[in-house]
Amino acid sequence: MTTDLNQFPQLDKTKFEQRGIQLEIGVPVTCAVSIGNYIAAGFGDGTIRIFSSGEKHKTLKAHKGVILCMAKDGDNILTGGDDGYFLKISLNGEINEVTNFGSRWVDHVAAHNGNLVCSSGKVVYYWDKNKKEPKSLNHDSTIGGLAFDAKGRRLAVSRYGGVTVWKKDYSNKWKSTKLDWKGSHNKVSFSPDGKYLVTSMQENVLRCWRLKDKLDFAMSGYGSKVKSFAFIDDTSYLATSGAIDAICWPFDGEGPMGRKPICLPYIGNKQVTFIEPFPNEKAIFAGLSDGSVFLSQIENENNTIIIRSFTGSEVSAIAMTDDKSSIFIGDISGNTLWTSIWDQ
61 vs 214, which CB is nearer to other proteins?
61
Residue 61 as a binder of other proteins (CB under 8 A): the answer is no
Task: Out of 17, 22, 23, 27, name the contact with other proteins by CB under 8 A.
Answer: 27
Task: Please list every residue from 75 through 134 that binds other proteins, using CB under 8 A.
Answer: 82, 103-105, 107, 121-122
Q: How far is the CB of 133 from other proteins (least distance, A)?
A: 23
4 vs 133, which CB is nearer to other proteins?
4
Contact between 158 and 188 under an 8 Å Cβ cutoff? The reply is: yes
26 vs 114, which CB is nearer to other proteins?
26
Task: Out of 32, 40, 146, 201, name the contact with other proteins by CB under 8 A.
Answer: 201
Residue 53 as a binder of other proteins (CB under 8 A): the answer is no
Task: Please list every residue from 128 through 157 that binds other proteins, using CB under 8 A.
Answer: 141-142, 144
164 vs 296, which CB is nearer to other proteins?
164
Q: How far is the CB of 127 from other proteins (least distance, A)?
A: 23
Give the rounded distance of the alpha carbon of 60 from its chain centre: 21
Q: How far is the CB of 91 from other proteins (least distance, A)?
A: 24
Residue 178 as a binder of other proteins (CB under 8 A): the answer is no
Contact map string, positions 206 to 225, toward other proteins, x by CB under 8 A: ------------------xx
| Beta strands at 174-190 and 108-112: parallel, antiparallel or unpaired | unpaired
CB atoms near residue 232 (< 10 Å): 25
45 vs 281, which CB is nearer to other proteins?
45
Task: Out of 20, 28, 162, 250, name the contact with other proteins by CB under 8 A.
Answer: 28
Q: How far is the CB of 141 from other proteins (least distance, A)?
A: 6
Residue 269 as a binder of other proteins (CB under 8 A): the answer is no
Q: How far is the CB of 273 from other proteins (least distance, A)?
A: 11
Q: How far is the CB of 142 from other proteins (least distance, A)?
A: 5
Binding footprint of other proteins on the chain (CB under 8 A): 1-4, 26-28, 30, 43-46, 64-66, 68, 82, 103-105, 107, 121-122, 141-142, 144, 160, 182-184, 201-203, 224-225, 332
